[in-house]
Each structure stands twice: as structure tokens, then as C-alpha cells.
Structure 1
């Protein structure tokens, strides 16, 4: 039969790891939606290849969030932080009209 002390010593480390992972997942910033009012103001598109050139004449081939000075993806992933959209993550393949080469 297992004592309470043995049970606690075996389960507490696992519970701590689970809580740490849950905190990390819950703390992650949400992804910016194209329908977000801030995104709409800056003509944000999650896929730069689908930007309407007639409505966004400043867009040029090759401009993407991951080549913009305002974009920061610490792990090189598909999502990253943009200094224009605080608290929201943007797509590396995205674009907005405030692009900075």
C-alpha cells in the first residue's frame, strides 16, 4: 500500500510541470484576425500573396511580415509579434500597409 507521502512525492512534480505548461499555453497572445478593427485600419492580410494591389498600391512583391522591421518571431515560427499590434500575433506570411523594409 502506498503512503500519502510517497503519493505526493510522485505526483507533485508532474502536477507542477502540467501547471507550468498550461500557464504558457494560456499566456500566449491570440492571433490577429483580418476582421479585427486594428487590422482593418492597416489593411492587414494574413497572406501577403492575396493582397489586393488596387486597394493597397503600396504593396510590392516580396513584402511580408517576416521581412518587415516591425516583426519579431523569436523561434522563427509561422506566428510572431508586431509592434503595431500589441497583444496579438501576426502571420509571418502576412502584410499590412505599414510595412518597413
Structure 2
């Protein structure tokens, strides 16, 4: 029979390890600005670095976090985007597929 103490010494490190692996996997799923799809959409991790002359539809304050395609909460730092194959985009980023959330 396993005691509560033995159980805790086994479970807590296992949960910590799974959390670390989960974080690493999520980081690996982040879109790279050099990814061909990201380049095609003019995606930038930081919306303030968007070339407004090249992308006339860019408006200050338009960020992934308030786009209808952003699959997280507006306050999430990173979340999935179907325009970039479900890869994670920065909530403060922007691309030419931006559509303001209604």
C-alpha cells in the first residue's frame, strides 16, 4: 500500500516534468516570421513593426489578440491562428489577414 507521502513524492515531480514538456511543445508550435505562410501574410510578432506603407490595411491598435481568428483570450500572450495552420501567434502581433473581432 502506498502512503500519501510516497504518492506526493512520486506525483509532484511527474506533474512538474509534464508541465515543462508542455511548455516546450507550445513554444515549438509558435510561428516563425520567416515561415512562408507568415511572410505571405506579412506577419510580425510585434504589430508596431509592420510596414504601414506596404500594408495599407494596418491600423494602430490592430493586433492578433483582438482579431476574430485569434483562438485564445485577448489577454493570452500566444494562441493558435487558423490562417497560419493553427500555429501560435503573438497576441501583440499582426498579419494582413486581420479582421477585428465583432
Q: TM-score range by the shorter chain?
A: 0.7 to 0.9
Segments of structure 1 that go 5 or more residues without pairing to the other structure are: none
Q: Which residue of the partner structure matches residue 45 of structure 1? A: 44
Structure number with bigger Rg: 1
- TM-score (norm. length: structure 2): 0.75
Distance 2:71 2:39 in 1: 21
Which digits, 9 at most, give the CA deviation of each residue in 1:67-101, with x for residues without a partner?
A: 11001224822111112123421111111001111
- TM-score (norm. length: structure 1): 0.75
Q: RMSD in angstroms over aligned alpha carbons?
A: 2.4
User: Matches of residues 3-82 of structure 1 in structure 2 within 5 Å?
Assistant: 9-10=6-7, 11-28=9-26, 30-74=29-73, 76-82=75-81
Aligned residues: 96
Which digits, 9 at most, give the CA deviation of each residue in 1:28-80, with x for residues without a partner?
A: 25221111111001110111111111211111122111111001224822111
Which digits, 9 at most, give the CA deviation of each residue in 1:2-31, with x for residues without a partner?
A: xxx77x935322343234324433442522
Indicate the larger mover: 33-42 or 70-79. 70-79
